[in-house]
Amino acid sequence: MTIASHSNPLTGPQPAGAASGPELQRCEQCGRVGVRGFRVLPATEYTKPITLCASKAACRKRWPKPHHEIA
């Protein structure tokens, strides 16, 4: 394990909320966390935006238990 060499000892890591890199996303169905391979369902009148795996089939395989089909 090595400490990130580009970290400036004077300023330290970037404060939370100021990062300009890709943000971690979390699938709301299977709980997968990452920065790629996600799609976001746009908000509707009744729901807020929903983050899901881009691959629906792969997402379902990660579900801890089988659930009723959603849509």
Q: Which residues contact Zn ion by CB under 5 A?
A: 27, 29-30, 32, 53, 59
Query: How near is the Cβ of 71 to Zn ion at its closest, in Å?
Result: 14
Q: Which is nearer to Zn ion, 29 or 50 (CB)?
A: 29
Max CA separation in the chain (angstroms):
53
Contact indicator for 27, 52 with CB cutoff of 8 Å = yes
Query: What's the rounded Cα separation, in Å, for the pair 32 and 50?
Result: 13
Q: Which is nearer to Zn ion, 13 or 56 (CB)?
A: 56
Query: How near is the Cβ of 54 to Zn ion at its closest, in Å?
Result: 9
Query: What's the rounded Cα separation, in Å, for the pair 13 and 7?
Result: 6
Query: How near is the Cβ of 14 to Zn ion at its closest, in Å?
Result: 28
